[in-house]
């Protein structure tokens, strides 16, 4: 092997060492200073529109995606005995300023108190719900700063703050039955962490995916 070939091989090996060292250093830094997850979604608190009395739904004046203001009439129920009914009780009003994200009833249907006619969400109070592995949860606390990206906006950076760390794993609320086959596969559980955005952007859509990096140092 000539001298030139030896130098080339040594140079390639040196470059590989530097590259692998850089990659290793990057992942060490990320794991040492951040808890990260891509299992995160932009969401908000759902607010239901519900009737005050039982009766036929004769009007539903909104569509999914419509913006409503608090107190706006979104629907009406029919009246069988007008003399015995407070007319205002037949009117369905929006309980908040928000966006209709889901209709749950159709005109002509009999609806009752407690039944959801539509779901609203306040776009100015969106937050990110991030699912953090149980093995990393000990590092996460309310008040920690968060860097995040939202898939809807590509690589645009957002910042936020950990508001709340869940008290139970997501599986606690699962309706799936526990296996009784006698076999057991241990699965790392995930706990929901609520993250408030420092600045709410009205163009952010509920349900979009996010990647979060929680500062732990």
Q: pLDDT tens for residues 71-109? A: 999 999 987 766 656 778 889 999 999 999 999 999 999
Report how far residue 144's alpha carbon sits from residue 146's, in angstroms, rounded to the nearest whole number.
7
The helix/strand/coil state of 182 is: coil
Give one DSSP letter per residue of 138-181, joined into a string: GG--TT-EEEEEEGGGTT-EEEEEEEEE-SS-GGGG--SPPP-S
Q: pLDDT tens for residues 160-207? A: 999 999 887 766 655 555 555 566 667 788 999 999 999 888 789 888
User: Looking at domain 45-122, which of 3.40.50.970, 2.40.50.100, 1.10.3720.10, 3.40.50.10470 is its CATH number?
Assistant: 2.40.50.100
Domain ranges of the chain: 35-44+125-215, 45-122
Q: Share the mean pLDDT of the chain.
A: 85
Report how far residue 217's alpha carbon sits from residue 32's, in angstroms, rounded to the nearest whole number.
8
pLDDT value, residue 28: 59
Distance of CA 62 to the CA centre of its chain: 24
Q: Identify whether the C-beta of residue 54 lies closer than 8 Å to the C-beta of residue 81.
A: no
Q: Identify whether the C-beta of residue 109 lies closer than 8 Å to the C-beta of residue 130.
A: no
DSSP conformation class of 204 = P
Q: pLDDT tens for residues 151-168? A: 999 989 999 999 999 887
Question: Spelled out in words, what is the top-level CATH class assigned to the domain 35-44+125-215?
Answer: mainly beta
What is the pTM (predicted TM-score) of this model? 0.71
- 102 CB-near residues (< 8 Å, 6+ apart): 64, 118, 119
């Amino acid at each position: 092997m000539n001298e030139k070939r030896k130098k080339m091989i040594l140079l390639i090996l040196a470059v590989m060492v530097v590259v692998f060292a850089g990659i290793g250093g990057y992942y060490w830094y990320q794991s040492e200073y951040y808890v990260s997850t891509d299992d995160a979604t932009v969401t908000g608190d759902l607010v239901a529109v519900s009737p005050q009395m039982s009766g036929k739904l004769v009007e539903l004046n909104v569509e999914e995606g419509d913006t409503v203001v608090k107190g706006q009439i979104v629907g009406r129920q029919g009246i069988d005995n007008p003399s015995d009914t407070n007319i205002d009780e037949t009117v369905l009003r929006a309980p908040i300023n928000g966006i209709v994200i889901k209709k749950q009833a159709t005109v002509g249907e009999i609806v009752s108190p407690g039944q959801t006619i539509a779901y609203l969400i306040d776009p100015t109070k969106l937050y990110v719900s991030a699912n953090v592995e149980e093995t990393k949860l000990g590092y996460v606390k309310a008040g920690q700063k968060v860097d995040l990206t939202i898939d809807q906006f590509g690589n645009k950076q957002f910042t936020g703050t950990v508001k709340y760390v869940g008290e139970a794993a997501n599986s606690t609320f699962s309706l799936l039955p526990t296996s009784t086959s006698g076999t057991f596969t241990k699965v790392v559980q995930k706990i929901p962490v609520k993250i408030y955005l420092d600045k709410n952007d009205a163009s952010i859509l509920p349900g979009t995916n996010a990647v979060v990096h929680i500062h732990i140092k």
